Amino acid sequence: MSGEGMGMALEIVGQSVPRSDGQEKVAGQARYMDAIDLPGMLVGRVLRSTVPHGRLRRVDAEKARRVPGVVTVVTGESLRRDGRLNPYYGPALLDQPVLAIDKVLYVGDPVAAVAAVDEESALEALDLIEVEYEELPAVFEPLDAIAPGAPLLHEGELKPGGLFVDLTDVHPVPGTNICNHYVMKKGDGEAGFRHADIVIEQTFSIPETQHYPLEPHSVLAWVDPSGRIALYANTQQPFIVRAQLADIFQVPPSHIRIMVPYLGGAYGAKCYPKAEPIATVLAWFARRPVKLTFTREEVFLTITKHATVVKMKSGAMRDGTLVARKVECYLGTGAYAEIGPRVSKKMGTNGAGPYRIPHVQMDAYCIIYTNKPPAGAFRGYGLPQVTWAFEQQMDTLARELRIDPVEIRLKNLFVDGDTFWYGERLNALGLRECLLKAAAAIRWGEPSQALPGKRRGKGLAIMLKTLTHGASIAFVKVDDDGTAKVLTSTVEMGQGSDTVLAQIAAEELGLPVERVSMAHPDTDFTPFDDKTSGSRSTVAMGKAVLLAAREARERLLELAAEQLEASVHDLEVRRGQVRVRGTDRALDVAQVVRAHFRSKGGTIMGRGEFHTKLAREEFWFAAAGAAEVEVDPETGEVRVLKYVGACDVGKAINPHLCQQQVLGGAVMGLGQTFSEEMVYDHGQLLNPSLINYKLPAFRDLPAQLEVILLETPYSEGPFGAKGVGESAVPPVAAAIGNALVDAIGVRLYELPITAEKVLKALEEAGGAGPVGAGGAR
């Protein structure tokens, strides 16, 4: 019946139609949080801990309360005394207070919050809040935090978050800083190593980094006269934030309404509650609207990517066949668990690499509490960390065994029909093709020609990521003028979901894409969606939209069949016309709706839902990256001459937007590879701004940046589509690390790859250029 089902030529899906948000965005008229105000709105500001670990001896806000213009000051103590709220929240464990109670756990932990008539008064009040800390010993690195005798961050028993079925198995290890330990085992690890001709052990590490969406976290919250709570918030997860706020305020979820405008980027930083609890608590006490927008420094202190140490041991036969792998991942999750346990599970599930290995022992170990800002979801969800490890280890094996790095991967990588660890049969992977295309694009096998005084090399890496679980529901309504509105709670944060979901609906409904528009999330009126993250919207919500559109279309055809006195089976809808196939008997969709309601008015509805099977990975997206680099052996500088990102997208609903996701992911990966790193001194973040936290700029781009999209259709995805939001990020660092080895024979194990580290490694290997010689003119 449908366009999808009939294999009819697609008219809208597969076209790079212009973005639906384009006109607003180029005009500067797109509405983000900074354009949303309410009359009488107060400004919220937060006082944060100045010590990494300490007991709160005294928080005295009396002077602050007396500042003219200050309406309310809230502290952890005032929350506890009030007694009506449950001050703890967290998606995995209820370990995070809205404002610190008894203890502070990192420099930046919120201690008190102020709502005032203007920013200046709020800042004056913050300056007058007196806080006395009793400093406690602190711990900052994951491996230190699990050493015997390490200071404990969370001393009491932690309650589970109770939100997600896949997190019911999260168990903190009592008396330690370990908040979860994920184990995955296949075969017999140690026995496997005994068979191996070669065994290699390496340790890799990755620092904390920032998502750095240009737009900071921002919330406008108010309590209406009936006592209902409402928020505008730039969240990726309105329903999950609503559930968490409902627990804090001890009200049913529907007592809270969250509306989401356009987001100025997110990349995982806007998952789970961020500014929402503090803003809402301020509004609740002030009984006036409160807008809380984090400063950039606060964004740095709110959420990071997990610093991780990966210890990896692999055994292989002389011909390159992998036989055993043992992996230990130590993730520093910072002061609160946040969604760290799920990140560790994902890292564990995917952390042995996309290879057939008979014996695997994975201790995707521990999410370890440290006295640092919380770490959580970050584009790639654990994959960027483990890919840096397993793809450099594959390269090391290849070099040790004198096998071509592409060959050793081809010998071991998963192909359709293989079985994943927990028994799932793999299909529609496209992994092999990604690798081969990326290799061809950098002319793999042809030696690099370096300029005098420089050295060049090539490298590549692959990855396979599983889709996260969750449910998505969509409503489609077709109105009497022949336009359609799609109601979903997918958040448009730049990825292009408004455009892609409208394309899917338009294709299925047979309407021109201009006649389809998207609602933005409003938890009162748009249906449930788990989240906009994990590369899931095109697949999960796309499928829900497809099914909703199909239902609306079937209803339209039924009505049109009566009106045209034809059989439903003889009808088609294209370009807004319902037509009896092969004839000129046709009605505009608008006419069909109006005729049915016999009035100028009417709506046809369709509903669709998609959900993954409980807590199990449903499909895989594959990617490869390949790089050619040039190294200056005098300075250690590494220049990327060419980078190629190859991703299997199943079906490119909008090829241009898919390409952009790959380009953007590759450039974000380059930042993680070369420059991005949060630097601390005893828990104090030293670089909380773009002055000393450097993002890739135009001039930092590779000379050539190329995208390859592959389309191996995924049967469950809409029109065969898979996700592409994260695919390009994980391979970048390892591809460049491997190219570096090809260029100068030196491998780096710690990100980022700085010029200084390269020079130092070269020097240790005896290959650095001397100061006074060489002809680098």
Partner 1 sequence: MRRFELLMPTSLDEASRLLREREGDVKLIAGGASLLILMKSGVYQPSCLVSLQRIPGLADVHFDPGEGLRIGALTTHRVIERSPVVRERLPVLSEMARMVANVRIRNTGTIGGNLCQADSHADPPPLLLALGARVRAKGGKGTRTIPLEEFLLDYYQTALQPDEVVTEVAVPPLPAGSTAAYLRHTVRSAEDFPCIGAAAVVEWQDGICRQVRLVLGGVAAVPQRARQAEALARGRSLTEPLIGQMAEAAAEEVEPISDFYGSAWYKKRMAGVFARRVLLVAWAQRTGR
Partner 2 sequence: MTPIELSLTVNGERRALTVPPQRLLLEMLQRDLHLTGTKEGCGVGVCGACTVLMDGRPVSACLVLAAHADGHEVTTIEGLGRDGQRHPVQAAFLEWSAFQCGYCTPGMILAATALLQEHPAPSEEEIREYMSGNICRCTGYMDIIRAIQSCTGGAKR
Q: How far is the CB of 698 from partner 1 (least distance, A)?
A: 8
Residues binding partner 2: number (CB under 8 A): 52
Task: Please choose which of partner 2, partner 1, none residue 775 contacts, taking the beta carbon within 5 to 8 angstroms, the exact cut-off set by kind.
Answer: partner 1
Q: How far is the CB of 288 from partner 2 (least distance, A)?
A: 18
Q: With contact defined as beta carbons under 8 Å apart, do 317 and 351 qualify?
A: no
Task: Please choose which of partner 1, partner 2, none residue 27 contacts, taking the beta carbon within 5 to 8 angstroms, the exact cut-off set by kind.
Answer: partner 2
Q: Is 514 in the site for partner 2 (CB under 8 A)?
A: no
Q: In the window 80-139, what residues touch partner 2 (CB under 8 A)?
A: 120
Local structure of 574: helix, strand or coil = strand
Q: How far apart are CA 59 and CA 37, in angstroms?
A: 31
Q: Where are the beta strands (DSSP E) in 589-693?
A: 603-611, 620-631, 638-648, 680-681, 684-685
Q: How far apart are CA 436 and CA 332, in angstroms?
A: 35
Task: Please choose which of partner 1, partner 2, none residue 123 contacts, taking the beta carbon within 5 to 8 angstroms, the exact cut-off set by kind.
Answer: partner 1
Q: Which of 668, 671, 675 shows the shortest CA–CA distance to 727?
A: 668
Task: Please choose which of partner 1, partner 2, none residue 756 contacts, taking the beta carbon within 5 to 8 angstroms, the exact cut-off set by kind.
Answer: partner 1
Of 177 and 236, nearer to partner 2 (C-beta) is 236
Residue 3: DSSP 8-state: H
Of 126 and 309, nearer to partner 2 (C-beta) is 126
Task: Please choose which of partner 1, partner 2, none residue 494 contacts, taking the beta carbon within 5 to 8 angstroms, the exact cut-off set by kind.
Answer: partner 2
Q: How far is the CB of 33 from partner 2 (least distance, A)?
A: 10
Q: Which of 364, 308, 301 shows the shortest CA–CA distance to 336?
A: 301
Local structure of 182: helix, strand or coil = strand
The residues binding partner 1 (CB under 8 A) are: 119-120, 123-124, 297, 634-637, 674-675, 679, 686-687, 689, 691-692, 694-697, 699-700, 754-756, 759-760, 771-773, 775-777
Q: How far apart are CA 554 and CA 107, in angstroms?
A: 58
Q: Which of 537, 550, 539 shows the shortest CA–CA distance to 478?
A: 550
Structure-token match 């949060």, residue found: 678
Of 508 and 632, nearer to partner 1 (C-beta) is 632
Q: Is 356 in the site for partner 2 (CB under 8 A)?
A: no
- Could you say which of 431, 657, 709, 758 contacts partner 2 (CB under 8 A)? 657
Local structure of 56: helix, strand or coil = strand
Task: Please choose which of partner 2, partner 1, none residue 6 contacts, taking the beta carbon within 5 to 8 angstroms, the exact cut-off set by kind.
Answer: none
Q: Where are the beta strands (DSSP E) in 353-497?
A: 359-369, 455-466, 471-479, 484-487
Task: Please choose which of partner 1, partner 2, none residue 447 contacts, taking the beta carbon within 5 to 8 angstroms, the exact cut-off set by kind.
Answer: none
Binding span for partner 2 by CB under 8 A among 131-139, 381-389, 503-511, 687-695: 687-695
Q: Is 265 in the site for partner 2 (CB under 8 A)?
A: yes
Task: Please choose which of partner 2, partner 1, none residue 265 contacts, taking the beta carbon within 5 to 8 angstroms, the exact cut-off set by kind.
Answer: partner 2
Task: Please choose which of partner 2, partner 1, none residue 402 contacts, taking the beta carbon within 5 to 8 angstroms, the exact cut-off set by kind.
Answer: none
Task: Please choose which of partner 2, partner 1, none residue 421 contacts, taking the beta carbon within 5 to 8 angstroms, the exact cut-off set by kind.
Answer: none
Spell out the alpha helix ranges (H) of 90-212. Answer: 119-128, 142-145, 189-195
Of 360 and 759, nearer to partner 1 (C-beta) is 759
Pairing of strands 484-487, 471-479: antiparallel
Local structure of 73: helix, strand or coil = strand
Of 119 and 135, nearer to partner 2 (C-beta) is 119
Which residues, in sequence order, are bridge partners of residue 724?
none
- Order of strands across the sheet with 484-487? 516-518, 484-487, 471-479, 603-611
What phi and psi values does residue 744 have, to the nearest 5 degrees? -130, 0
Pairing of strands 229-233, 218-223: antiparallel
Task: Please choose which of partner 2, partner 1, none residue 679 contacts, taking the beta carbon within 5 to 8 angstroms, the exact cut-off set by kind.
Answer: partner 1
Q: How far is the CB of 703 from partner 1 (least distance, A)?
A: 13
| Number of Cβ atoms within 10 Å of the Cβ of 197 | 13
Residue 172, preceding bond cis, omega within 30 degrees? no
Structure-token match 């780096």, residue found: 748
Q: Is 679 in the site for partner 2 (CB under 8 A)?
A: no
Of 108 and 261, nearer to partner 2 (C-beta) is 261
Q: Is 26 in the site for partner 2 (CB under 8 A)?
A: yes
Spell out the alpha helix ranges (H) of 205-275. Answer: 238-249
| Number of Cβ atoms within 10 Å of the Cβ of 254 | 11
Binding span for partner 2 by CB under 8 A among 243-251, 339-347, 523-531, 698-706: 698-706
- Could you say which of 191, 679, 697, 776 contacts partner 2 (CB under 8 A)? 697
Binding span for partner 2 by CB under 8 A among 1-9, 22-30, 331-339, 350-358: 22-30
Q: How far apart are CA 276 and CA 232, in angstroms?
A: 9
Q: With contact defined as beta carbons under 8 Å apart, do 350 and 466 qualify?
A: yes
| Number of Cβ atoms within 10 Å of the Cβ of 57 | 9
Task: Please choose which of partner 2, partner 1, none residue 8 contacts, taking the beta carbon within 5 to 8 angstroms, the exact cut-off set by kind.
Answer: none
Of 123 and 586, nearer to partner 1 (C-beta) is 123
Site string for partner 2, 515-554 (x = CB under 8 A): ----------------------------------------
Task: Please choose which of partner 1, partner 2, none residue 394 contacts, taking the beta carbon within 5 to 8 angstroms, the exact cut-off set by kind.
Answer: none
Local structure of 749: helix, strand or coil = coil
Q: Is 268 in the site for partner 2 (CB under 8 A)?
A: no
Tokens read off for 133: 């800390």
Residue 634: DSSP 8-state: T
Of 530 and 676, nearer to partner 1 (C-beta) is 676
In order of 91, 93, 162, 354, the CA distances from 159 in angstroms are 11, 6, 8, 35
Q: How far is the CB of 314 from partner 1 (least distance, A)?
A: 33
Spell out the alpha helix ranges (H) of 45-196. Answer: 62-65, 76-82, 119-128, 142-145, 189-195
Task: Please choose which of partner 1, partner 2, none residue 250 contacts, taking the beta carbon within 5 to 8 angstroms, the exact cut-off set by kind.
Answer: none
- Could you say which of 1, 35, 173, 686 contacts partner 2 (CB under 8 A)? 35
* Identity of residue 512: P
- Could you say which of 10, 30, 136, 200 contacts partner 2 (CB under 8 A)? 30
Q: Is 494 in the site for partner 2 (CB under 8 A)?
A: yes
| Number of Cβ atoms within 10 Å of the Cβ of 365 | 25
Q: What is the DSSP string of 467-513?
A: PPP-EEEEEEEEETTS-EEEE-----SSS-HHHHHHHHHHHHHT--G
Q: How far is the CB of 772 from partner 1 (least distance, A)?
A: 3
Q: How far is the CB of 652 from partner 2 (least distance, A)?
A: 14
Site string for partner 2, 200-229 (x = CB under 8 A): ------------xxxx--------------
Q: How far is the CB of 116 from partner 1 (least distance, A)?
A: 13
| Sign of the Cα pseudo-torsion (548, 550, 551, 557, in order) | positive
Of 255 and 757, nearer to partner 1 (C-beta) is 757
Q: How far is the CB of 695 from partner 1 (least distance, A)?
A: 7
Q: How far apart are CA 507 and CA 11, in angstroms?
A: 7
* Identity of residue 323: V
Residues that bind partner 2 (CB under 8 A): 16, 18-19, 21-30, 32, 34-35, 120, 212-215, 262-267, 295-296, 493-496, 656-657, 660, 662-668, 689-691, 695, 697-699, 701, 705
